[in-house]
Amino acid sequence: MKPIISGMAVMLLILISTGVQARDTRLELSVQEVLNRDDAGTLLGDMQFYFAGQPHSAVQKSLGEFQSNRKTNAFGKSDKEACQWAMLSALKSLKERAESLGGNAVVNIRSNYKNNEFVSDSEYQCGAGAIMAGVALKGDVVQLGQ
């Protein structure tokens, strides 16, 4: 009898964990709320970020298009909180790439979650699951004129 109960317990755990990992809710959230967070200034410094369609000064030099795909632990966090952290991490990655190439801005930023481009000047896409949240961005690293 014990082997049957143990087997059923293992099967139940497998079914529960499969359901938990399978959640992949795609959210569209505010870019400005992320940029207004207290920790955004520390993480992003004075790098300029312009999402698709946002006006910016003239591009003096284009340094290439780059992608950033960042995930974060979502366990015990709201989807919004986990997504904001993943978004900050993705922006920080683009910032570091721009700095390494001598750029002072990243323009034409678009969400690219699971290689599905989402273009907005005010929102980004995030995939939120039970244990992970992720944000994928792509944008053009440039030197903008003053």
Is the confidence at residue 115, as pLDDT, over 80? Answer: yes
- 27: helix, coil or strand? strand
- pLDDT tens for 7-57 read 566 665 565 554 445 688 999 999 999 999 999 999 999 999 999 999 999
Alpha-helix residue ranges (DSSP H) falling in 28-112? 31-35, 40-44, 79-101
> Looking at residue 26, what DSSP letter applies?
E
Class of domain 24-144: alpha beta
Which residues fall within 8 angstroms of residue 88, CB to CB, at 6 or more apart? 34, 37, 39, 40, 43, 44
- What does the block give as tokens for 145? 């004129």
Radius of gyration, CA atoms only, the chain: 19
Total length of the chain: 146
Residue extents of the structural domains in the chain:
24-144
